[in-house]
Amino acid sequence: MTSQPEQPYVPAPFPISIKGVVLDSQQRVLLLRNERGEWELPGGKLEGSETPVERVETEIHEESGWTATAGPLLDVWMYEPLPGRRVFIVTYGCTVAAADAHRPPVVSHEHKEAGLFHRDVVDGLPMPQGYKDSIARWYELLDQD
């Protein structure tokens, strides 16, 4: 009996996207509408030598004009935005700078629209359940304070 040569393990490649749950002064969550017509959290792909915290803070600023500080890790999950395309999502609870908490976000070239939503409407929005879960988790943590 001849055996096949053992093939080396090659992990499936997928991007890692770091997202932030950011609330304004009225406790509304910042969401951005993407090209698929879904709402999503601000954030972006982890690249280079940046840490996940640095990435989420940079992306929040680039995508909304707000300065925010990343706080606790809220969740990690795998998302399939398109068939066969998987993205590993990492979400952080973030605190917006006081100077930005009272002004509307700016819409970057990466998104169609920015919106601020009260927690009671989030479940009805078109977006992945993982984002909804992360948003709910951040509200729960803040309610404990």
pLDDT tens by residue, 94-117: 999 998 888 899 988 888 899 999
Give the containing element (helix H, strand E) for 77: strand 68-82
pLDDT at 22 over 70: yes
The CA distance from 41 to 7, in Å, is: 39
How distant is the alpha carbon of residue 55 from its chain centre?
11
| pLDDT of 3 | 66
Q: What band does 124 get if pLDDT is binned at 50, 70 and 90?
A: very high
pLDDT at 1 over 60: no
16-144 folds as Nucleoside Triphosphate Pyrophosphohydrolase (3.90.79)
b/e for 56-70, b at 16 or more Cβ within 10 A? bbebbbbbbebebbb
pLDDT tens by residue, 53-90: 999 999 999 999 999 999 999 999 999 888 888 999 99
Among 51, 60, 50, which residue's Cα sits nearest to residue 20? 60
Among 122, 52, 37, which residue's Cα sits nearest to residue 60? 52
Instruction: Decide: 38 and 128 in contact? Cβ < 8 Å.
Output: yes
Q: In the chain, what are the domain boundaries? A: 16-144
Distances (CA, A) of 132 to 12, 61, 77: 26, 21, 12
Question: For the whole model, what pTM was predicted?
Answer: 0.88
